[in-house]
Amino acid sequence: MTGEVGLRERKKAATRAALSAAANRLAVELGVEHVTVEAIAAAADVSPRTFHNYFSSREEAIVASIIDWADRLTDELERRPADEPIWDSLQDVYLATLDDSADARARMVAQIQMVMANPTVIANQLAAFDAMRRRFAAAIAARTGTDASRDLYPHLIAGAAAQAVKTSMDLWAAGQTDRPLRELVADGFAQLRAGLPQPGRQTGRPAS
Q: What local confidence, expressed as pLDDT, does residue 1 receive?
A: 62
Q: Could you state, in chain order, the average pLDDT of each consecutive group of 10 residues for the chain (208 residues)?
A: 76 94 95 96 97 96 90 92 93 94 93 93 91 92 95 96 94 91 96 91 49
Nearest to 169 by CA among 117, 94, 119: 94
Q: What's the topology of domain 63-195? A: Tetracycline Repressor; domain 2 (1.10.357)
Alpha-carbon gap, residue 138 to 77, rounded angstroms: 11
Is residue 20 a contact partner of residue 12, using CB atoms and an 8 Å limit? no
Alpha-carbon gap, residue 173 to 56, rounded angstroms: 30
Question: What's the gap between Cα 82 and its chain centre?
Answer: 23
The domain segmentation of the chain, as residue ranges, is: 1-62, 63-195
Q: What local confidence, expressed as pLDDT, does residue 202 receive?
A: 54
Q: What local confidence, expressed as pLDDT, does residue 201 receive?
A: 63
Residue 153: which H helix or E strand, with range? helix 152-173
Is residue 63 a contact partner of residue 121, using CB atoms and an 8 Å limit? yes
> What are the backbone dihedrals phi and psi of residue 201, each rounded to the nearest 5 degrees, phi first?
-105, 0
Q: What local confidence, expressed as pLDDT, does residue 207 receive?
A: 45
Alpha-carbon gap, residue 44 to 19, rounded angstroms: 6
One of 1.10.10, 1.10.287, 1.10.8, 3.40.50 is the CATH number of 1-62, namely 1.10.10
Q: What local confidence, expressed as pLDDT, does residue 168 receive?
A: 96
